[in-house]
Amino acid sequence: MTSLVKDLSDGVRLIQLMEIMGDTSLGRYNRNPRIRVQKAENVNKALEFIQSRGVKLTNIGPEDIIDGNLKLILGMIWTLILRFTIADISEEGLSAKEGLLLWCQRKTQPYKEVDVQDFSPSWSDGLALCALIHCHRPDLIDYDKLNKSDRHTNTRLAFQIADEHLGIPQLLEVADLCDSTRPDERSVMTYVAGFFHAFSTMDQAETVSRRVEKFAELMQSVWLKIQALWAAIKFTGTYVDAKEHASNFQKYKQTTKRQWVTEKQDVSTLFGNVQTKLRTYGLREYVPPPGLSLADLDAAWKALLASEAKRSRAINAQIREIKESLRKTFAERANDFARRLSDVSSELTAIEGPLEEQEQQVHYLKSRLLPELMGALHEVAMAEEDCQAANVEENDYTVFTFQDLEFEHELVTQSVLKKIAFIDNQIVSRNMSNLTPAQLEQFESTFRYFDKDESNTLEPAEMTAALASLGIIYSDEDMYMIYDQLLQDYGAVTYEAFINLLVDITEDQTSPAQLRESFRGIASDKPFVTELDLRVAHLPQTAIDYLREVMPSASNEVGEAEYDYEAWLDDVFA
């Protein structure tokens, strides 16, 4: 622009100026206006925008700018400068002129030759401008070497440095300040506002730079601390401990680490913005202290990532090691338990000799080895629980599972108990000299058959059925009386109690002839009985099942089984 009167008259430059100062677009306008109406539209658009920004324009309209009314145009320009350049200056609650003046006074206060009281004579010797520059950029000017009496040289130097190094255009001539008794206040104020904005930006940049510096230093310190903490942590060797370390590490990655990633990115962005601002305003580049540059931060970050990888590998290796140890521990206990089970089973099979000696040996197995096996099985169960807690499923060190061993242990235990019952029963049978071997065999097989739970004792229903299968039937009342008496004498209806009961019954009541007569009564004098005959006689179902199993039988013409009780009784009492 060369002339405010000519260059603003068509409104094009005025619109462009408003777009720059308002940092926005005013939309479509006449870029090559030829007639007055088009020029008026442009100027009016610019004036409406100015008013929309809260700027009050007095006594000026589109025609004043089109017709080149210089006085009103200059008034409008000053209003714009005041609104867009000076109005946002604030210092301790003061605004515009007062705030800018207070800022200048504070910055130049240490310089004894400078006394800023206004925006006119106080600036005529150039020292105030040199003091502002030296206060913020002592590298650009050596204030102490200035000839304090050479106002023209000082002013010219300040203009040159501001233009070349600070990006502040020279709005005034040296003569405007030095050769005028009272420099134009508005012009000086507008020019000095450029220093305020430049140095305020620099102050903000320095503040941000210090913040970046402190934050970078803090981040590096925290990163080093967490790495030292990881290096000092010791594992206890348990899976619970290893999983807790893994959980804490995962939590760190999902919380603290993500926060650090964000902060690191913010620091890099902020550092770049600071440097951009400094370059924009022609200020010297910010150089971080040694060890706090972006390259240093990146190196520290890489060290943190390497430490993280090392920490992750250590935790995973610990978990793998513990799982392998759990596999071996379980396998050792399981294999040892299986061997001990096999030893007990072999010892049980090898028992021989007189019944009393066999009894001693088998009771030794029950009293000593079975409790030891139970304790060993508990150890296997504990090892199994540890493996399950660690999600250990496969194990190449053993073919056994806890369930396998528990099942085999139950079998061995039952075998021992059955062996004890068998020997006890044999001792009882041996002492029954008043019974034939066939009777003893018959009574023992009957007892075993009806001892459904293999407890070597008979419950009331089991005893009733066993006696009925032998042709001995009592009323319910008599049966309960007999059962109660046996409980009092023996504590339970054991094999010994059952045999002694049969001896008593056989001696007192039932001879072979009597038993044969009973069967003939049930068979209605037939030489055989049928299942229907047994049911009609109200024998218990268990007794019927037993008799069907032990008595020889043949089928008649209709396929019904006929049981030969005569032949069976001959065998029993032979």
Which CATH number is 357's domain given? 1.20.58.60
| Residue 222 pLDDT > 90 | no
Q: What is the CATH number of the domain that holds 11?
A: 1.10.418.10
63 and 119 inside one domain: no
| Residue 510 pLDDT > 60 | no
pLDDT of residue 297: 79
What is d(CA 109, CA 116) in angstroms, rounded to the nearest whole number? Answer: 9
In the chain, the N- to C-terminal Cα span, in Å, equals: 146
pLDDT band at 282 (very low <50, low <70, confident <90, very high): low
pLDDT of residue 99: 79
| Residue with the larger pLDDT of the pair 559 and 97 | 559
pLDDT band at 231 (very low <50, low <70, confident <90, very high): confident
User: DSSP label at 529?
Assistant: B
Q: Whole-structure pTM over 0.75, yes or no?
A: no
User: Are the CB atoms for 123 and 188 separated by under 8 Å?
Assistant: yes
Q: What are 555's strand-pairing partners?
A: 561
Percent of the chain with pLDDT over 70: 89
Domains held by the chain: number: 4
Among 387, 420, 453, which residue terminates a domain?
420
Among 204, 230, 257, which residue terminates a domain?
204
Give the domain extent around 139: 90-204
What is d(CA 350, CA 38) in angstroms, rounded to the nearest whole number? Answer: 125
pLDDT band at 353 (very low <50, low <70, confident <90, very high): confident
339 and 377 inside one domain: yes
Among 375, 397, 420, which residue terminates a domain?
420
Q: Which of 210, 248, 242, 203 is nearest to 226 (CA)?
A: 248
Lowest mean per-residue pLDDT among 116-130, 262-276, 292-306, 537-551: 262-276
The sign of the dihedral angle between the CA atoms of 402, 407, 413, 419 is negative
Mean pLDDT of the chain: 83
The answer as to whether 437 is a domain residue is yes
Lowest mean per-residue pLDDT among 171-180, 202-211, 246-255, 511-520: 202-211
Q: Which residues of 452-484 are buried (b: 16+ CB within 10 A; e: fewer)?
A: eeeebbbbeebbbbbbbbbbbbeeeeebeebbe
122 and 147 inside one domain: yes
77 and 98 inside one domain: no
pLDDT band at 127 (very low <50, low <70, confident <90, very high): very high
The answer as to whether 453 is a domain residue is yes
The answer as to whether 292 is a domain residue is no
* Residue 454 structure tokens: 């293999």
390 and 373 inside one domain: yes
Within 13 A of 301's CA, how many CA atoms are on the CB side?
A: 18
| Residue 64 pLDDT > 60 | yes
The answer as to whether 189 is a domain residue is yes
The answer as to whether 45 is a domain residue is yes
| Residue with the larger pLDDT of the pair 271 and 372 | 372
118 and 198 inside one domain: yes
The answer as to whether 542 is a domain residue is yes
Q: What is the CATH number of the domain that holds 522?
A: 1.10.238.10
- 7-48 tens-digit pLDDT: 778 888 888 877 776 778 888 888 888 888 888 888 888 888
pLDDT of residue 96: 66
pLDDT band at 519 (very low <50, low <70, confident <90, very high): confident
Which residues neighbour 468 within 8 Å (Cβ) at sequence distance 6 or greater? 539, 540, 543
Amino acid identity at 410: E
The answer as to whether 285 is a domain residue is no
- 367-414 tens-digit pLDDT: 888 888 899 999 999 999 999 988 888 899 999 999 999 999 999 988
Q: What are 562's strand-pairing partners?
A: 554
80 and 95 inside one domain: no
pLDDT band at 199 (very low <50, low <70, confident <90, very high): confident
| Residue 435 pLDDT > 80 | no
70 and 137 inside one domain: no
Which residues neighbour 45 within 8 Å (Cβ) at sequence distance 6 or greater? 11, 15, 26, 27, 29
Phi, psi of 412, rounded to the nearest 5 degrees: -65, -40
15 and 99 inside one domain: no
User: Are the CB atoms for 363 and 429 separated by under 8 Å?
Assistant: no
* Residue 170 structure tokens: 């020279």
| Residue with the larger pLDDT of the pair 505 and 132 | 132
User: Are the CB atoms for 107 and 131 separated by under 8 Å?
Assistant: yes
Question: Alpha-carbon dihedral of residues 552, 553, 554, 559, nearest 10 degrees?
Answer: -160
What is d(CA 10, CA 40) in angstroms, rounded to the nearest whole number? Answer: 7
469 and 566 inside one domain: yes
| Residue 328 pLDDT > 90 | yes
The answer as to whether 214 is a domain residue is no
21 and 70 inside one domain: yes
82 and 103 inside one domain: no
| Residue with the larger pLDDT of the pair 481 and 214 | 481
Taking residues 512-531, report their average pLDDT: 86
* Residue 477 structure tokens: 């009342």
pLDDT of residue 561: 92
User: Are the CB atoms for 336 and 342 separated by under 8 Å?
Assistant: no
DSSP class per residue in 300-322: HHHHHHHHHHHHHHHHHHHHHHH
Lowest mean per-residue pLDDT among 38-52, 231-245, 263-277: 263-277
